[in-house]
Amino acid sequence: MGYAVVLGEALIDLLETELSDGEPGYRPAVGGAPFNVAVGVARLGGGAEFVGSVSTDRLGERLHGFLLNNGVGTGGAKRVGVPTTLALTSFAGAEPDFAFYGDSHGMLGPDDLDPALLAGADVVYTGSIAMLRPPTLAAARAAWKVPGPWRVFDPNARPRLLTDVAGYRAVVEEFAAGADLMKLSAADATVLWDADEATVAARLADLGAGTVVVTRGAAGALLRSEGTVEEIPAPRVVAIDATGAGDSVMAALIHGLLLTGRGTRPDWPALVRYALAVGALTVEGRGGATALPTAERVRGRFPEAVPTN
């Protein structure tokens, strides 16, 4: 099994909570969608290399150490001497809402890429809020041109950051045109296209995306591949915190591609069922990357969903 290059942001989530005296407070947790994806791939047993900018401050050291402690490679990470980006996170039920402060997450540029690391990958993933920063968008475009790896994209649209929805939609469609797999949420479909999941999946497929997976929370996912559309249910669990749920689904899909290998046609329905099982386990815990399940936990709860190859 090869490895995935995961290009994007690392930051600290400040998760809304209640202190012991009843006053509101915030609990810091490592995060950032690509950061979560890299950790998720590694916890499932796949090889992952994080490529992005990480601060040299105390919080940045925490992020860097968490990657290493979870078996994620950091040779492609760029250390930057600015304060770590913070994502202030509030909740409506289990669903998070984010407000962002800082720019340490978007300082990786194309000259910071390691060509050998990209060329040797089985999967190259990018997407999320780092794409809103010109240097990292340029780096993602350069990585996207490397021949060979599966190209995987997730827009992870954050409305509070989208001052130009049409501009970001154009970027997303640019990457969709070259994607072997595009994963997005129903919320992404609404924010970027103001349309239902099936309509958006068809549009992305028409642009050139090989396979499109649209997650629907507890309702599961819509899968569109080779002109066929299938609705796949999610396991029933009690959701506590949905932070990182979509990232865990993405991590499982990437892990499935690593198991499949380059040049082999994936069993997409089976991979989506596996990914939804991983997502279900993630929402049972609190706090993004810290709640991402291991391969052993997935096998223990949903053995029928684990890929056999």
Q: From CA 287, how far away is CA 267, in angstroms rounded?
A: 30
Task: Note the pLDDT tens digit of each residue in 246-270.
Answer: 999 999 999 999 999 888 999 999 9
* DSSP letter, residue 18: E
308 phi, psi to nearest 5 deg: -95, -20
Q: How confident is the model at residue 47 (pLDDT cuts 50, 70, 90)?
A: very high
Mapped onto helix, strand or coil, the DSSP state of residue 282 is helix
- In whole numbers, what is the pLDDT of the chain averaged over residues? 93
Residue type, 61: E
* pLDDT score of 18: 78
Q: Map out the domains of the chain as residue ranges.
A: 3-305
What is this structure's pTM? 0.94
Task: Note the pLDDT tens digit of each residue in 109-163.
Answer: 999 999 999 999 999 999 999 999 999 999 999 999 999 999 999 999 888 788 8
Q: How confident is the model at residue 199 (pLDDT cuts 50, 70, 90)?
A: very high
pLDDT tops 70 at residue 180: yes
Is 215 within 8 Å of 221 (Cβ atoms)?
Answer: yes
Q: Could you tell me which CATH class the domain 3-305 is placed in?
A: alpha beta
55 phi, psi to nearest 5 deg: -65, 155
- Give me the helix-helix angle, 33-43 and 245-260, nearest 10°: 50
Q: From CA 250, how far away is CA 150, in angstroms rounded?
A: 13
